[in-house]
Amino acid sequence: MIIQSTQSMSFSGASAESENVVLKTSDLFTGLRMTVTATAGHVLDQINSIEIDVPDYGTQSARIKLAGNEVYLLPLICQMGNSGQADATASTGTSAITGQDVNSGYSHFDLPINKLALDKDVRVTINATAGVGETLTIDFGFLDTPFRSVYFRTYDVASSTGIHQNWFPSDGTLQGIIFGTTAGVGACTSGSVFTARADNIREISLDGLRNQTFNKVQLLAPGLDEIVSGGDQMSFGGVGMYGMLRNFTSGDGPRYVSIDRSVATGLLVIGVMSDA
């Protein structure tokens, strides 16, 4: 079932604008559908930042908070938030690898919300730049299909060599990690958001433990296909993306992943979190 919201957003012109909506409904819901219509270009190239705040969750109320290059992680977040592979495949009209809309100028994003109570309303804040003489329209609907009970913490790591330690917050439980190599993400019209498979990662280590350290990082390349693709074989495996997801090792307190880069490369990192 889907219920249309009375709220929508509209952006126009070449200047960045911020819009905020408070989404109200008389029913509990599990997911939020955003449909985005642009008069030109791919929609993620026009969104500068997005934050979805669900006050039900207290200090973890910012379930999704993306800015700059992190915005290109939105379709992958949709896929991770859906309950199964078939739903993940259909959860967005934008490629999680290239950032391009299947139908240019229109897409949808089905996001996990999992409302707990009716006395608090979901807040969505988006900053966007439609372009000269162009418009961008965003509409909302409420879904009651199953979604994973997760939220996300994302990181845009500058291009460099050497070891990068990426720490995750300890106020939730880390359920998995996704990381992809980039070449300085730009407009998705220029090609893939993530770089093609290359030998630019020497080692990936979770919490520095020996049995969670991989110097054959290609072992982690199928991680996303195992969980979310449900479609073409190795759709994620063909680019520089890695996943620690299936049989993820649980642990307490602050957790980190170390990524040893042999050549200068940027990283986009997602921590898949659940409430403690």
CATH number at residue 66: 2.60.120
Q: How far apart are CA 180 and CA 266, in angstroms?
A: 8
**Whether residues 130 and 205 fall in one domain:** no
Same domain for 250 and 222: yes
Under DSSP, the state recorded for 249 is P
The DSSP 8-state label assigned to residue 102 in this structure reads S
CATH code for the domain in which residue 166 is found: 2.60.120.20
What would the pLDDT profile of 27-58 be if each residue is shown by its tens digit?
999 999 999 999 988 899 999 999 999 999 99
Are residues 73 and 89 part of one domain?
Answer: yes
The arithmetic mean of pLDDT across residues 99-124, rounded, is 93
With H, G, I as helix, E, B as strand and everything else as coil, classify residue 178: strand
Average pLDDT, the chain: 89
Q: pTM for the full model?
A: 0.93
Cβ-contact 225, 235 below 8 angstroms: yes
Q: Are residues 129 and 24 in the same domain?
A: yes
The larger pLDDT score, comparing residue 2 to residue 271, is at: 271
Average confidence (pLDDT) over 218-228: 87
Query: How far is Cα 31 from Cα 274, in angstroms, rounded to an integer?
Result: 16
Residue 253 confidence class, pLDDT cut points 50, 70, 90: confident
Query: Are residues 52 and 63 in contact, defined by beta-carbon separation less than 8 angstroms?
Result: yes
Residue range 3-27, pLDDT digits in tens: 898 899 999 999 999 999 999 998 9
pLDDT for the residue numbered 18: 97
* DSSP per-residue codes, 35-81: EEEESSS-GGGTEEEEEEE-GGGGGG-EEEEEEGGGGGGHHHHHHHH
Same-domain check for residues 67 and 177: no
pLDDT for residue 276 = 75
122 lies in the same domain as 164:
no
11 and 138 housed in the same domain: yes
* 122, 143, 164 - which closes a domain: 143
**How much is the CA Rg of the chain, to the nearest whole Å?**
18
- What's the confidence (pLDDT) of residue 195? 79
Pick the more confident residue, 97 or 177. 177
DSSP letter string, 226-243: IIII-SSTTTTTTBSEEE
Mean of the pLDDT values across residues 109-133? 94
Least confident of 19-28, 58-67, 69-78, 221-230: 221-230
pLDDT at 184: 57
Same domain, 27 and 75: yes
Q: Same domain for 112 and 163?
A: no
Mean pLDDT, rounded, for 99-121: 92
Phi, psi of 69 (to 5 degrees): -60, -25
Q: Are 227 and 150 in contact (CB under 8 A)?
A: no
Rounded to whole angstroms, the Cα distance separating 60 from 116 reads 13
User: Are the CB atoms for 121 and 128 separated by under 8 Å?
Assistant: no
pLDDT interval class at 130 (50, 70, 90): very high
The contacts of residue 232 (CB under 8 Å, 6+ apart) are none
CA distance 121 to 21: 10
The pLDDT of residue 60 is above 60:
yes
Residue ending a domain, among 143, 167, 200, is 143
Clarify whether residues 227 and 168 are in a common domain: yes
* Average confidence (pLDDT) over 225-250: 80
Structural domain count of the chain? 2
- Give yes or no: residues 78 and 162 share one domain: no
Q: State which of 143, 166, 201 marks the end of a domain.
A: 143
Domain range enclosing 58 = 2-143
Same domain? 136 vs 163: no
Distance CA(12)–CA(188), nearest Å, equals: 20
What 8-state DSSP symbol labels residue 96? T
Residue 106 CA to residue 202 CA, distance in Å, equals 38
pLDDT at res. 17:
95
Q: What is the average per-residue pLDDT within 89-94? A: 90
Cβ neighbourhood burial of 6 (10 Å; 0-12, 13-18, 19+):
exposed
